[in-house]
């Protein structure tokens, strides 16, 4: 639209607003026409696609032959009809206007086809009646069987190979089923109920009694059998199944029941492997200490037993029980060094036999002190103070084990009098005086003293004299009580 455009009707100049409206109207008309054209084109393509394929040539001849139409006039009429339909279809696709579209063929052929259809229907009805009279269903069944037999005879080799393959697959499946542990678990569970569980429960209850834990209300039950393994569990008696044992029992009770379950399990097996226990009794719950120690000592008759403990009371009870059962034992001290823990060291003085401990102080420790005094008093005092402290501990052990014949002992509840109490009659005033003097003398080096009255450590010769005096007394006293 040009700058000086005018209205075609009134010839007045067009304003800018009028130009904009005319442009909008023009765009709308063009867009609407284009849209309608696209829709019409799409609809035309759809109609073209929906046109059926019209048979012609050889395909049409085959259809006529299969339909059984033998009359040449009828065949010619059908060919002519299909030719006209093909022309009509082509003209519909390519025509630009209606005048170019070929007319539809006449309906004469439809009359011919209707007569043929009626003739075929009558013939089919006759065939149906004839078939019913000759056991058609039986014949069809027999024909099907014959066809199947024919097919099988043609595929004999392949069928034999497939049968052989299926047999192998069947054997493999049976072998796989044999590896399933479900049947084994069921059988083992049944045998366990009959042969194992009842005996296991009896052993567990007996172990609880032997360990002094009969009052704890727990029981051993079978939980499940999985993959050939039978599992048992310690549960609280007369309690909700959701309550865990560890939530009710104390640490000591939990340990003792676990120990009972362990012993009940291994005692039912023939092997004699060593047992290692790390503090089998909690220091917070000592009610079961003596019973547990006696049970562990009885285990020593069948196998080696190793017990780790840091409690002197347990060590004393273990020694006492081992002596009572005449079982050989060995005490090994484990200490902590700067490079790590668990380093085996010398047996402490309190754990050695008194005669061996005296010889150890006299031969090894005192010899070390003599070498140290040559380097200076400061080095000597460190070693001498340790010797004096250990000698005082050894004096206490001599009083308990030798002078008092092990009748009473610290960390031990019982008093042993059988075969020992008569030895007390052999004690003299001189024996008591000897230990009074030495205990008084060496207690000064063990305990702290006033700074105004310091205690001077004895010389090596003096220590040697005191140790030899005690050693001589021990030899003489041992002969005295044995007479």
Q: Which residues pair with 235 in a beta bridge?
A: 219
Q: Strand (E) positions, 156-243?
A: 218-226, 229-236
Q: What's the whole-number average pLDDT of the chain?
A: 81
Question: Which has the closest alpha carbon to 253: 220, 293, 212, 290?
Answer: 212
The residue among 334, 335, 332, 437 whose CA lies nearest residue 392 is 437
Q: How far apart are CA 67 and CA 69, in angstroms?
A: 6
| Fold of the 185-330 domain | Rossmann fold (3.40.50)
DSSP letter, residue 288: T
Report the range out of 150-164, 194-208, 225-239 with the highest average pLDDT.
150-164
Q: Is 277 exposed, middle or buried (0-12, 13-18, 19+ CB in 10 A)?
A: middle
**Residues in contact with 387: Cβ distance below 8 Å, sequence separation at least 6, in sequence order:** 361, 365, 366, 369, 463
Report the 3 state secondary structure along 322-363. HHHCCCCCCCCEEEEECCEEEEEECCCHHHCCHHHHHHHHHH
Report which of 250, 256, 249 is spatially closest to residue 277, judged by C-alpha positions. Answer: 256
Q: For residues 357, 358, 364 and 367, what is the CA-based torsion angle, rounded to 10 degrees? A: 160
| Residue pair 333/347 in contact by the 8 Å Cβ criterion | yes
CA distances from 374 to 222, 380, 382 (A): 72, 8, 13
| Cα 9 from Cα 397, distance rounded (Å) | 142
Question: What pLDDT digit, counting tens, does each position of 14-49 carry?
Answer: 677 776 777 777 777 777 777 887 787 788 778 777
pLDDT tier at 450, thresholds 50, 70, 90: low
Query: Span 362-373, mean pLDDT?
Result: 90
Dig out the tokens for 472 from the structure: 């001589």
Give 406's contacts (C-beta < 8 A, 6+ positions apart). 400, 416, 420
Q: Confidence band (pLDDT; 50, 70, 90) for 3? A: low
- Give per-residue pLDDT as tens, 112-143: 778 888 888 888 888 777 766 667 777 788 88
Query: If you search the block for the tokens 């009972």, which residue do you land on?
Result: 260
Compute CA 50 distance to the chain's CA centroid, rounded to the nearest angstrom.
Answer: 67
CA pair distance 259, 413, nearest whole angstrom: 23
Distances (CA, A) of 138 to 124, 126, 128, 149: 20, 19, 15, 16
Percent of all residues in the chain with a pLDDT value above 70, rounded to a whole number:
87
Token pair listed for 393: 């501990």
The values of phi and psi at residue 337, to 5°, are -110, 170
Q: What is the pTM of this model?
A: 0.47
């Amino acid at each position: 639209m040009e700058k000086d455009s005018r209205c075609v009707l009134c010839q007045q100049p067009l304003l800018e607003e009028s130009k904009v409206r005319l442009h909008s109207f023009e765009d709308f008309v063009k867009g609407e026409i284009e849209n309608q054209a696209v829709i019409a084109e799409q609809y035309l393509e759809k109609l073209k696609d929906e046109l059926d394929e019209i048979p012609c040539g050889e395909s049409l001849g085959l259809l006529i032959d299969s339909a059984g139409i033998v009359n040449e006039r009828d065949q010619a009429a059908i060919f002519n009809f299909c030719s006209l339909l093909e022309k009509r279809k082509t003209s519909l696709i390519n025509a630009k206007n209606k005048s170019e579209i070929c007319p539809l063929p006449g309906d004469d052929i439809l009359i011919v086809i209707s007569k043929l259809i009626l003739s075929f229907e009558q013939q089919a009805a006759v065939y149906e009646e004839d078939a019913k009279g000759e056991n058609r269903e039986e014949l069809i069944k027999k024909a099907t069987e014959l066809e199947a037999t024919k097919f099988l005879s043609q595929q004999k080799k392949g069928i034999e190979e497939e049968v052989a393959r299926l047999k192998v697959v069947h054997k493999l499946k049976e072998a796989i089923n044999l590896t399933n542990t479900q049947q084994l678990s069921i059988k083992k569970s049944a045998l366990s109920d009959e042969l194992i569980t009842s005996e296991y429960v009896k052993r567990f209850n007996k172990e609880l009694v032997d360990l002094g834990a009969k009052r704890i209300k727990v029981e051993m039950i079978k939980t499940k059998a999985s993959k050939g393994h039978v599992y048992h569990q310690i549960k609280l008696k007369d309690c909700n199944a959701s309550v865990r044992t560890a939530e009710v029992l104390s640490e000591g009770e939990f340990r003792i029941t676990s120990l009972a379950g362990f012993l009940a399990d291994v005692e039912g097996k023939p092997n004699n492997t060593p047992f290692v226990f790390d503090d089998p009794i909690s220091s917070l719950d000592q009610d079961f200490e003596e019973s547990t120690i006696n049970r562990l000592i009885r285990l020593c008759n069948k196998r080696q037993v190793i017990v780790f403990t840091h409690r002197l009371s347990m060590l004393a009870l273990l020694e006492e029980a081992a002596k009572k059962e005449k079982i050989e034992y060995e005490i090994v001290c484990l200490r902590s060094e700067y490079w790590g823990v668990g380093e085996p060291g010398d047996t402490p003085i309190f754990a050695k036999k008194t005669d061996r401990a005296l010889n150890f102080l006299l031969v090894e420790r005192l010899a070390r002190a003599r070498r140290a005094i040559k380097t200076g008093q400061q080095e000597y005092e460190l070693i001498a103070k340790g010797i004096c402290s250990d000698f005082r501990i050894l004096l206490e052990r001599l009083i308990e084990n030798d002078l008092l014949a092990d009748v009473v002992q610290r960390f031990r509840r019982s008093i042993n009098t059988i075969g020992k109490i008569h030895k007390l009659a052999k004690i003299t005033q001189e024996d008591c005086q000897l230990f009074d003097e030495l205990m008084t003398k060496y207690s000064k080096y063990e305990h702290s003293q006033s700074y105004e009255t310091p205690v001077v450590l004895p010389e090596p010769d003096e220590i040697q004299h005191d140790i030899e005096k005690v050693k001589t007394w021990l030899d003489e006293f041992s002969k005295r009580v044995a007479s």
